[in-house]
Amino acid sequence: TSARASFVAAHPEAATWSDRARRVQPGGNTRSVLHVDPFPIRVDRAEGKHLWDLDGHRYVDLLGNYTAGLLGHSPEPVLAAARAALESGWSLGAVHENEVRLAELIVERFPSLDQVRFTNSGTEANMMALAVATHHTGRRKVVVFRNGYHGGVLTFGAEPSPVTVPHDWVLCDFNDLDSVSAAFAEHGVEIAAVLVEPMQGSGGCIPGTPAFLAGLRSLCDDHGALLVFDEVMTSRFSTGGAQQLLGVQPDMTTLGKYLAGGLTFGAFGGRADVMANFDPAAGGTLAHAGTFNNNVASMAAGVAALTEVLSPELLDEVHARGERLRVRLNEAFAAAGLPMCATGVGSLMNVHGTAGPVGTAADLADQDDRLRELFYFHCLANGYYIARRGLIALSIEITDDDIDQFLDVVGSFGTDD
Ligand code: PLP
Protein backbone atom coordinates (compact mmCIF):
# COMPACT_ATOMS: atom_id res chain seq x y z
CA THR A 1 0.00 0.00 0.00
CA SER A 2 2.72 2.48 0.88
CA ALA A 3 4.68 1.80 -2.34
CA ARG A 4 1.52 2.44 -4.32
CA ALA A 5 0.66 5.58 -2.30
CA SER A 6 4.14 7.03 -2.93
CA PHE A 7 3.76 6.21 -6.60
CA VAL A 8 0.41 8.04 -6.80
CA ALA A 9 1.80 11.07 -4.97
CA ALA A 10 4.75 11.30 -7.37
CA HIS A 11 2.69 11.06 -10.58
CA PRO A 12 -0.19 13.58 -10.58
CA GLU A 13 0.06 14.24 -14.34
CA ALA A 14 -0.07 10.54 -15.14
CA ALA A 15 -3.17 10.24 -12.96
CA THR A 16 -4.90 13.06 -14.79
CA TRP A 17 -4.08 11.65 -18.20
CA SER A 18 -5.17 8.18 -17.16
CA ASP A 19 -8.57 9.55 -16.12
CA ARG A 20 -8.83 11.21 -19.51
CA ALA A 21 -7.67 8.05 -21.29
CA ARG A 22 -10.19 5.80 -19.56
CA ARG A 23 -13.04 7.84 -21.00
CA VAL A 24 -12.00 7.11 -24.59
CA GLN A 25 -9.86 3.96 -24.30
CA PRO A 26 -11.15 0.91 -22.44
CA GLY A 27 -8.65 0.24 -19.65
CA GLY A 28 -7.01 3.58 -20.43
CA ASN A 29 -4.66 2.18 -23.07
CA THR A 30 -4.50 0.51 -26.45
CA ARG A 31 -2.04 -2.24 -25.42
CA SER A 32 -3.38 -4.42 -22.61
CA VAL A 33 0.15 -5.24 -21.49
CA LEU A 34 0.58 -1.61 -20.39
CA HIS A 35 -2.19 -1.82 -17.80
CA VAL A 36 -0.98 -1.00 -14.29
CA ASP A 37 -3.02 -0.64 -11.10
CA PRO A 38 -3.58 2.21 -10.17
CA PHE A 39 -2.27 3.67 -13.46
CA PRO A 40 0.93 3.57 -15.53
CA ILE A 41 3.57 6.27 -15.82
CA ARG A 42 2.96 8.31 -18.97
CA VAL A 43 6.10 8.73 -21.06
CA ASP A 44 6.54 11.60 -23.46
CA ARG A 45 10.21 11.42 -24.41
CA ALA A 46 13.00 8.93 -24.92
CA GLU A 47 16.63 9.20 -25.91
CA GLY A 48 19.47 6.73 -25.78
CA LYS A 49 18.83 4.57 -22.72
CA HIS A 50 16.48 7.01 -20.97
CA LEU A 51 12.74 7.64 -20.73
CA TRP A 52 11.15 10.77 -19.26
CA ASP A 53 7.62 10.80 -17.89
CA LEU A 54 5.08 13.62 -17.78
CA ASP A 55 5.76 14.11 -14.08
CA GLY A 56 9.40 14.97 -14.70
CA HIS A 57 11.03 11.69 -13.68
CA ARG A 58 13.84 10.13 -15.67
CA TYR A 59 14.17 6.34 -15.95
CA VAL A 60 16.85 4.03 -17.25
CA ASP A 61 14.88 1.96 -19.75
CA LEU A 62 15.40 -1.70 -18.87
CA LEU A 63 12.29 -2.79 -20.77
CA GLY A 64 13.11 -1.59 -24.27
CA ASN A 65 9.49 -1.72 -25.46
CA TYR A 66 9.12 -5.40 -24.58
CA THR A 67 12.22 -6.27 -26.66
CA ALA A 68 11.52 -4.14 -29.77
CA GLY A 69 13.88 -1.47 -28.43
CA LEU A 70 17.08 -3.49 -28.63
CA LEU A 71 18.81 -0.57 -30.35
CA GLY A 72 17.95 1.96 -27.65
CA HIS A 73 16.14 5.18 -28.47
CA SER A 74 16.63 7.03 -31.75
CA PRO A 75 19.96 5.56 -32.84
CA GLU A 76 21.32 8.05 -35.38
CA PRO A 77 21.75 5.75 -38.43
CA VAL A 78 18.20 4.42 -38.04
CA LEU A 79 16.73 7.88 -37.52
CA ALA A 80 18.57 9.19 -40.57
CA ALA A 81 17.42 6.29 -42.75
CA ALA A 82 13.78 6.58 -41.66
CA ARG A 83 13.86 10.34 -42.13
CA ALA A 84 15.35 10.03 -45.62
CA ALA A 85 12.70 7.46 -46.55
CA LEU A 86 9.88 9.70 -45.31
CA GLU A 87 11.27 12.65 -47.21
CA SER A 88 10.87 10.68 -50.44
CA GLY A 89 7.19 10.04 -49.78
CA TRP A 90 5.64 7.35 -47.60
CA SER A 91 2.42 6.05 -49.03
CA LEU A 92 3.73 4.74 -52.32
CA GLY A 93 1.34 1.88 -52.93
CA ALA A 94 4.14 0.23 -54.88
CA VAL A 95 7.10 -2.05 -54.31
CA HIS A 96 10.41 -0.34 -53.59
CA GLU A 97 14.09 -1.05 -53.00
CA ASN A 98 14.44 -1.18 -49.23
CA GLU A 99 11.92 -4.00 -48.85
CA VAL A 100 14.16 -6.12 -51.07
CA ARG A 101 17.28 -5.08 -49.17
CA LEU A 102 15.69 -5.91 -45.82
CA ALA A 103 14.45 -9.28 -47.11
CA GLU A 104 17.98 -10.06 -48.38
CA LEU A 105 19.50 -9.14 -45.01
CA ILE A 106 17.06 -11.32 -43.09
CA VAL A 107 17.38 -14.30 -45.40
CA GLU A 108 21.17 -14.00 -45.09
CA ARG A 109 20.99 -14.05 -41.29
CA PHE A 110 18.60 -16.99 -40.97
CA PRO A 111 19.71 -19.94 -43.14
CA SER A 112 16.35 -21.70 -42.60
CA LEU A 113 14.61 -18.82 -44.40
CA ASP A 114 14.75 -19.18 -48.15
CA GLN A 115 12.17 -16.45 -48.52
CA VAL A 116 10.37 -13.96 -46.31
CA ARG A 117 7.30 -11.69 -46.32
CA PHE A 118 6.64 -8.68 -44.10
CA THR A 119 3.73 -7.83 -41.83
CA ASN A 120 2.91 -5.07 -39.37
CA SER A 121 3.34 -7.20 -36.25
CA GLY A 122 4.49 -10.47 -34.83
CA THR A 123 0.85 -11.40 -34.31
CA GLU A 124 0.11 -11.15 -38.02
CA ALA A 125 3.31 -13.02 -38.84
CA ASN A 126 2.13 -15.96 -36.74
CA MET A 127 -1.36 -15.86 -38.22
CA MET A 128 0.12 -16.01 -41.72
CA ALA A 129 2.56 -18.78 -40.81
CA LEU A 130 -0.31 -20.90 -39.55
CA ALA A 131 -2.41 -20.06 -42.59
CA VAL A 132 0.27 -21.25 -44.97
CA ALA A 133 1.14 -24.28 -42.83
CA THR A 134 -2.45 -25.57 -42.83
CA HIS A 135 -2.85 -24.78 -46.52
CA HIS A 136 0.44 -26.39 -47.52
CA THR A 137 -0.09 -29.62 -45.59
CA GLY A 138 -3.84 -29.84 -46.18
CA ARG A 139 -4.15 -30.59 -42.45
CA ARG A 140 -6.10 -28.70 -39.80
CA LYS A 141 -4.57 -29.22 -36.37
CA VAL A 142 -1.90 -27.01 -34.80
CA VAL A 143 0.13 -27.97 -31.74
CA VAL A 144 0.78 -25.06 -29.36
CA PHE A 145 1.90 -24.87 -25.74
CA ARG A 146 0.29 -23.87 -22.48
CA ASN A 147 1.63 -20.55 -21.23
CA GLY A 148 2.63 -19.68 -24.81
CA TYR A 149 2.21 -16.27 -26.41
CA HIS A 150 2.20 -15.62 -30.14
CA GLY A 151 0.39 -12.28 -30.11
CA GLY A 152 -2.64 -10.59 -28.67
CA VAL A 153 -5.05 -12.97 -30.39
CA LEU A 154 -2.81 -16.02 -30.12
CA THR A 155 -2.53 -16.37 -26.35
CA PHE A 156 -2.56 -19.60 -24.36
CA GLY A 157 -2.83 -20.10 -20.65
CA ALA A 158 -4.11 -23.44 -19.47
CA GLU A 159 -6.47 -23.06 -22.47
CA PRO A 160 -6.70 -20.62 -25.41
CA SER A 161 -7.81 -17.19 -24.17
CA PRO A 162 -11.39 -16.17 -24.97
CA VAL A 163 -10.20 -14.01 -27.86
CA THR A 164 -7.75 -16.47 -29.43
CA VAL A 165 -8.16 -16.74 -33.22
CA PRO A 166 -9.84 -20.11 -33.70
CA HIS A 167 -7.71 -22.95 -35.06
CA ASP A 168 -7.99 -26.63 -34.43
CA TRP A 169 -5.58 -26.34 -31.49
CA VAL A 170 -3.87 -29.23 -29.73
CA LEU A 171 -2.50 -27.90 -26.43
CA CYS A 172 0.63 -29.54 -25.07
CA ASP A 173 3.00 -28.77 -22.19
CA PHE A 174 6.17 -26.78 -22.85
CA ASN A 175 9.40 -28.66 -22.16
CA ASP A 176 7.42 -31.92 -21.98
CA LEU A 177 8.20 -33.88 -25.11
CA ASP A 178 6.06 -36.80 -23.94
CA SER A 179 2.97 -34.59 -24.14
CA VAL A 180 3.81 -33.83 -27.78
CA SER A 181 4.57 -37.47 -28.63
CA ALA A 182 1.18 -38.36 -27.22
CA ALA A 183 -0.49 -35.69 -29.35
CA PHE A 184 1.21 -37.03 -32.48
CA ALA A 185 0.29 -40.59 -31.54
CA GLU A 186 -3.33 -39.54 -31.34
CA HIS A 187 -3.59 -37.00 -34.20
CA GLY A 188 -0.40 -37.52 -36.26
CA VAL A 189 -1.77 -37.30 -39.80
CA GLU A 190 -3.98 -34.33 -38.94
CA ILE A 191 -1.25 -32.10 -37.46
CA ALA A 192 -0.19 -29.33 -39.85
CA ALA A 193 2.30 -27.59 -37.59
CA VAL A 194 3.91 -27.22 -34.22
CA LEU A 195 4.18 -23.55 -33.26
CA VAL A 196 6.65 -22.92 -30.45
CA GLU A 197 8.68 -20.15 -28.86
CA PRO A 198 12.27 -21.35 -28.33
CA MET A 199 11.96 -19.47 -25.03
CA GLN A 200 8.47 -18.72 -23.69
CA GLY A 201 8.80 -14.95 -23.53
CA SER A 202 5.61 -13.38 -22.23
CA GLY A 203 5.10 -16.55 -20.23
CA GLY A 204 8.05 -15.56 -18.04
CA CYS A 205 11.27 -16.06 -20.05
CA ILE A 206 11.27 -19.83 -19.66
CA PRO A 207 13.86 -21.33 -22.03
CA GLY A 208 12.95 -24.41 -24.02
CA THR A 209 15.48 -27.14 -23.34
CA PRO A 210 17.67 -28.14 -26.31
CA ALA A 211 16.37 -31.71 -26.02
CA PHE A 212 12.75 -30.54 -26.12
CA LEU A 213 13.25 -28.32 -29.17
CA ALA A 214 15.33 -30.90 -31.05
CA GLY A 215 12.69 -33.49 -30.13
CA LEU A 216 9.99 -31.34 -31.73
CA ARG A 217 12.07 -31.31 -34.92
CA SER A 218 12.18 -35.12 -34.99
CA LEU A 219 8.47 -35.51 -34.25
CA CYS A 220 7.58 -33.10 -37.06
CA ASP A 221 9.89 -34.96 -39.45
CA ASP A 222 8.38 -38.31 -38.51
CA HIS A 223 4.81 -37.10 -39.06
CA GLY A 224 5.12 -34.67 -41.96
CA ALA A 225 4.22 -31.63 -39.88
CA LEU A 226 5.88 -28.21 -40.18
CA LEU A 227 7.95 -26.92 -37.28
CA VAL A 228 7.34 -23.19 -36.80
CA PHE A 229 9.68 -21.29 -34.49
CA ASP A 230 8.21 -18.06 -33.16
CA GLU A 231 11.42 -16.05 -32.86
CA VAL A 232 9.67 -12.70 -32.43
CA MET A 233 11.51 -12.36 -29.11
CA THR A 234 14.37 -14.82 -29.39
CA SER A 235 15.83 -13.68 -32.71
CA ARG A 236 18.16 -11.39 -30.74
CA PHE A 237 19.98 -14.34 -29.16
CA SER A 238 22.44 -14.36 -32.07
CA THR A 239 22.55 -13.06 -35.65
CA GLY A 240 20.70 -16.22 -36.64
CA GLY A 241 18.41 -16.26 -33.62
CA ALA A 242 17.78 -19.07 -31.14
CA GLN A 243 17.79 -21.61 -33.96
CA GLN A 244 21.44 -20.83 -34.65
CA LEU A 245 22.39 -21.38 -31.00
CA LEU A 246 20.36 -24.58 -30.82
CA GLY A 247 21.37 -26.00 -34.16
CA VAL A 248 17.72 -26.79 -34.91
CA GLN A 249 16.32 -25.76 -38.30
CA PRO A 250 12.60 -25.01 -38.31
CA ASP A 251 10.55 -25.13 -41.52
CA MET A 252 9.07 -21.71 -40.84
CA THR A 253 10.12 -18.82 -38.61
CA THR A 254 8.24 -15.75 -37.44
CA LEU A 255 10.00 -12.52 -36.54
CA GLY A 256 9.20 -9.07 -35.22
CA LYS A 257 10.25 -6.53 -32.61
CA TYR A 258 13.72 -5.01 -33.04
CA LEU A 259 14.45 -6.08 -36.63
CA ALA A 260 13.10 -2.84 -38.11
CA GLY A 261 15.17 -0.82 -35.68
CA GLY A 262 12.20 -0.47 -33.32
CA LEU A 263 9.62 0.64 -35.88
CA THR A 264 6.47 -1.32 -36.77
CA PHE A 265 7.49 -4.76 -37.94
CA GLY A 266 6.73 -8.42 -38.37
CA ALA A 267 7.89 -11.11 -40.79
CA PHE A 268 7.36 -14.75 -41.59
CA GLY A 269 9.45 -16.94 -43.80
CA GLY A 270 10.91 -20.35 -44.34
CA ARG A 271 11.24 -23.14 -46.87
CA ALA A 272 10.95 -22.11 -50.51
CA ASP A 273 8.34 -24.80 -51.29
CA VAL A 274 6.11 -23.54 -48.46
CA MET A 275 6.56 -19.86 -49.32
CA ALA A 276 5.82 -20.67 -53.00
CA ASN A 277 2.16 -20.80 -51.98
CA PHE A 278 2.28 -16.99 -52.19
CA ASP A 279 3.89 -16.95 -55.65
CA PRO A 280 1.36 -16.87 -58.50
CA ALA A 281 4.14 -17.65 -61.01
CA ALA A 282 4.80 -20.91 -59.13
CA GLY A 283 1.11 -21.79 -59.06
CA GLY A 284 0.64 -20.40 -55.55
CA THR A 285 -2.95 -19.55 -54.66
CA LEU A 286 -2.53 -17.82 -51.30
CA ALA A 287 -2.76 -14.07 -50.97
CA HIS A 288 -1.06 -12.13 -48.23
CA ALA A 289 -1.90 -8.45 -48.46
CA GLY A 290 -1.56 -5.48 -46.12
CA THR A 291 -1.50 -1.78 -46.94
CA PHE A 292 1.44 -1.12 -44.63
CA ASN A 293 3.40 -4.39 -45.03
CA ASN A 294 6.22 -2.65 -46.88
CA ASN A 295 5.96 0.77 -45.22
CA VAL A 296 8.97 2.81 -46.22
CA ALA A 297 9.98 3.92 -42.73
CA SER A 298 10.17 0.39 -41.27
CA MET A 299 11.94 -1.04 -44.31
CA ALA A 300 14.56 1.74 -44.34
CA ALA A 301 15.01 1.60 -40.56
CA GLY A 302 15.46 -2.16 -40.70
CA VAL A 303 18.15 -1.94 -43.35
CA ALA A 304 20.02 0.68 -41.31
CA ALA A 305 19.62 -1.30 -38.10
CA LEU A 306 21.05 -4.47 -39.60
CA THR A 307 23.83 -2.91 -41.68
CA GLU A 308 24.94 0.06 -39.58
CA VAL A 309 24.16 -0.76 -35.96
CA LEU A 310 23.69 -4.40 -35.03
CA SER A 311 26.99 -6.11 -35.70
CA PRO A 312 27.36 -9.73 -34.57
CA GLU A 313 29.87 -8.52 -31.95
CA LEU A 314 27.37 -6.08 -30.49
CA LEU A 315 24.69 -8.77 -30.30
CA ASP A 316 27.15 -11.07 -28.51
CA GLU A 317 28.06 -8.26 -26.11
CA VAL A 318 24.47 -7.49 -25.08
CA HIS A 319 23.79 -11.22 -24.77
CA ALA A 320 26.76 -11.70 -22.43
CA ARG A 321 25.85 -8.60 -20.40
CA GLY A 322 22.36 -10.03 -19.90
CA GLU A 323 23.73 -13.39 -18.80
CA ARG A 324 25.85 -11.61 -16.16
CA LEU A 325 22.89 -9.54 -14.96
CA ARG A 326 20.66 -12.59 -14.57
CA VAL A 327 23.28 -14.46 -12.54
CA ARG A 328 23.86 -11.42 -10.30
CA LEU A 329 20.12 -10.84 -9.84
CA ASN A 330 19.78 -14.39 -8.56
CA GLU A 331 22.75 -13.88 -6.25
CA ALA A 332 21.19 -10.66 -4.94
CA PHE A 333 17.81 -12.29 -4.28
CA ALA A 334 19.49 -15.21 -2.51
CA ALA A 335 21.69 -12.89 -0.42
CA ALA A 336 18.64 -10.89 0.67
CA GLY A 337 16.77 -14.07 1.51
CA LEU A 338 13.96 -13.07 -0.86
CA PRO A 339 11.78 -15.76 -2.48
CA MET A 340 12.52 -14.38 -5.94
CA CYS A 341 14.48 -15.47 -8.98
CA ALA A 342 15.22 -14.45 -12.55
CA THR A 343 15.02 -16.75 -15.57
CA GLY A 344 15.86 -16.11 -19.20
CA VAL A 345 18.49 -16.23 -21.90
CA GLY A 346 21.01 -13.51 -22.71
CA SER A 347 19.56 -10.02 -22.68
CA LEU A 348 15.99 -11.18 -21.95
CA MET A 349 14.99 -12.11 -18.42
CA ASN A 350 11.99 -12.17 -16.08
CA VAL A 351 11.93 -11.64 -12.35
CA HIS A 352 9.55 -13.98 -10.53
CA GLY A 353 7.98 -13.95 -7.08
CA THR A 354 9.29 -17.41 -6.24
CA ALA A 355 12.72 -18.72 -5.30
CA GLY A 356 12.51 -21.23 -8.15
CA PRO A 357 13.91 -23.12 -9.85
CA VAL A 358 11.54 -22.29 -12.70
CA GLY A 359 11.64 -24.73 -15.63
CA THR A 360 7.97 -24.79 -16.62
CA ALA A 361 4.89 -22.64 -16.16
CA ALA A 362 3.76 -24.94 -13.35
CA ASP A 363 6.71 -23.71 -11.27
CA LEU A 364 5.18 -20.22 -11.36
CA ALA A 365 1.73 -21.26 -10.19
CA ASP A 366 2.34 -20.37 -6.53
CA GLN A 367 4.49 -17.29 -7.02
CA ASP A 368 3.86 -14.21 -4.91
CA ASP A 369 2.47 -11.62 -7.33
CA ARG A 370 2.52 -8.97 -4.61
CA LEU A 371 6.26 -9.33 -4.19
CA ARG A 372 6.76 -8.95 -7.92
CA GLU A 373 4.51 -5.88 -7.95
CA LEU A 374 6.42 -4.33 -5.04
CA PHE A 375 9.64 -4.96 -6.91
CA TYR A 376 8.18 -3.15 -9.92
CA PHE A 377 7.26 -0.07 -7.86
CA HIS A 378 10.66 -0.19 -6.13
CA CYS A 379 12.40 -0.09 -9.53
CA LEU A 380 10.21 2.80 -10.72
CA ALA A 381 10.76 4.80 -7.54
CA ASN A 382 14.51 4.44 -8.05
CA GLY A 383 14.48 5.40 -11.71
CA TYR A 384 14.43 2.03 -13.51
CA TYR A 385 11.68 1.07 -15.94
CA ILE A 386 10.88 -2.65 -16.22
CA ALA A 387 7.63 -4.46 -17.07
CA ARG A 388 5.08 -4.86 -14.33
CA ARG A 389 5.22 -8.61 -14.87
CA GLY A 390 8.99 -8.54 -14.27
CA LEU A 391 10.34 -8.58 -17.83
CA ILE A 392 13.73 -6.97 -18.39
CA ALA A 393 15.04 -6.60 -21.96
CA LEU A 394 18.42 -4.94 -22.27
CA SER A 395 19.20 -2.59 -25.12
CA ILE A 396 22.65 -1.99 -26.57
CA GLU A 397 22.66 1.36 -24.72
CA ILE A 398 22.82 -0.29 -21.30
CA THR A 399 26.36 -0.43 -19.92
CA ASP A 400 28.08 -2.46 -17.23
CA ASP A 401 27.91 0.64 -14.98
CA ASP A 402 24.14 0.79 -15.46
CA ILE A 403 23.95 -2.86 -14.43
CA ASP A 404 26.06 -2.22 -11.30
CA GLN A 405 23.87 0.70 -10.29
CA PHE A 406 20.69 -1.25 -10.94
CA LEU A 407 21.97 -4.10 -8.77
CA ASP A 408 22.50 -1.60 -5.92
CA VAL A 409 18.82 -0.71 -6.26
CA VAL A 410 17.88 -4.40 -6.30
CA GLY A 411 20.02 -4.86 -3.17
CA SER A 412 18.00 -2.22 -1.33
CA PHE A 413 14.67 -3.91 -2.16
CA GLY A 414 12.86 -4.84 1.01
CA THR A 415 14.87 -2.48 3.18
CA ASP A 416 13.14 0.78 2.32
CA ASP A 417 9.66 -0.15 1.02
N1 PLP B 1 5.29 -13.79 -30.57
C2 PLP B 1 6.02 -13.58 -29.47
C3 PLP B 1 6.92 -14.66 -28.98
C4 PLP B 1 5.94 -12.35 -28.80
O5 PLP B 1 6.65 -12.15 -27.69
C6 PLP B 1 5.10 -11.34 -29.32
C7 PLP B 1 5.00 -10.02 -28.64
O8 PLP B 1 5.37 -9.84 -27.51
C9 PLP B 1 4.36 -11.61 -30.46
C10 PLP B 1 4.49 -12.84 -31.07
C11 PLP B 1 3.44 -10.59 -31.03
O12 PLP B 1 4.13 -9.58 -31.65
P13 PLP B 1 3.39 -8.16 -31.86
O14 PLP B 1 3.21 -7.56 -30.51
O15 PLP B 1 4.31 -7.41 -32.75
O16 PLP B 1 2.08 -8.46 -32.53
Taking the domains of the chain in order of start, what are their residue ranges?
2-70+311-411, 76-309
- To test the ligand 1 pocket, which listed residue (67, 150, 389) has its Cβ within 8 A of the most ligand atoms? 150
Catalytic residue among 61, 230, 251, 402: 230
Mutual angle of helices 210-223 and 177-187, in 10-degree steps = 10
Burial class (CB in 10 A: 0-12, 13-18, 19+), 45: exposed
Give pLDDT, residue 416: 59
The one-letter code for the residue type at 363 is: D
Neighbouring residues of 130: CB distance < 8 A, sequence distance ≥ 6? 142, 167, 192, 193, 195, 228
Whether 222 is catalytic: no
Catalytic residue among 59, 66, 149, 376: 149
Ligand 1 atom nearest residue 257's Cα: 15
pLDDT digits (tens, 9 = 90+) for 5-52: 999 999 999 999 999 999 999 999 999 999 999 999 999 999 999 999
pLDDT at 81 over 90: yes
Percent of the chain residues topping a pLDDT of 70: 100
- CA separation for the pair 300, 329 (Å, rounded): 37
Whether 257 is catalytic: yes
- Taking residues 349-364, report their average pLDDT: 96
State the pTM of this model: 0.98
- CA separation for the pair 267, 80 (Å, rounded): 23
Distances in whole angstroms, Cα of residue 199 to Cα of each of 150, 235, 279, 302: 12, 10, 32, 24
Confidence bin at 1 (pLDDT 50/70/90): confident
| CATH for 2-70+311-411 (3.90.1150.10, 2.30.36.70, 3.40.50.10890, 3.40.50.1820) | 3.90.1150.10
Confidence bin at 414 (pLDDT 50/70/90): confident
Q: How far is the CA of 6 from the centre of ligand 1 (A)?
A: 33
- Give Cα 143 to chain centroid, integer Å: 20
pLDDT digits (tens, 9 = 90+) for 103-132: 999 999 999 999 999 999 999 999 999 999
Question: Could you give phi then psi for residue 287, rounded to 5 degrees?
Answer: -105, 145
| CATH for 76-309 (3.40.1710.10, 1.20.1260.10, 3.40.640.10, 3.90.1150.10) | 3.40.640.10
Whether the predicted interface score ipTM is above 0.90: yes
Judged by DSSP in three states, 164 sits in coil
pLDDT at 63 over 90: yes
What's the angle, vertex CA 240, arms to CA 104 and CA 279, rounded to 5?
Answer: 40
Residue 86's CB: how many other CB atoms inside 10 A?
Answer: 12
pLDDT at 168 over 60: yes
Whether 55 is catalytic: no
Q: How far is the CA of 369 from the centre of ligand 1 (A)?
A: 23
- Give Cα 390 to chain centroid, integer Å: 14
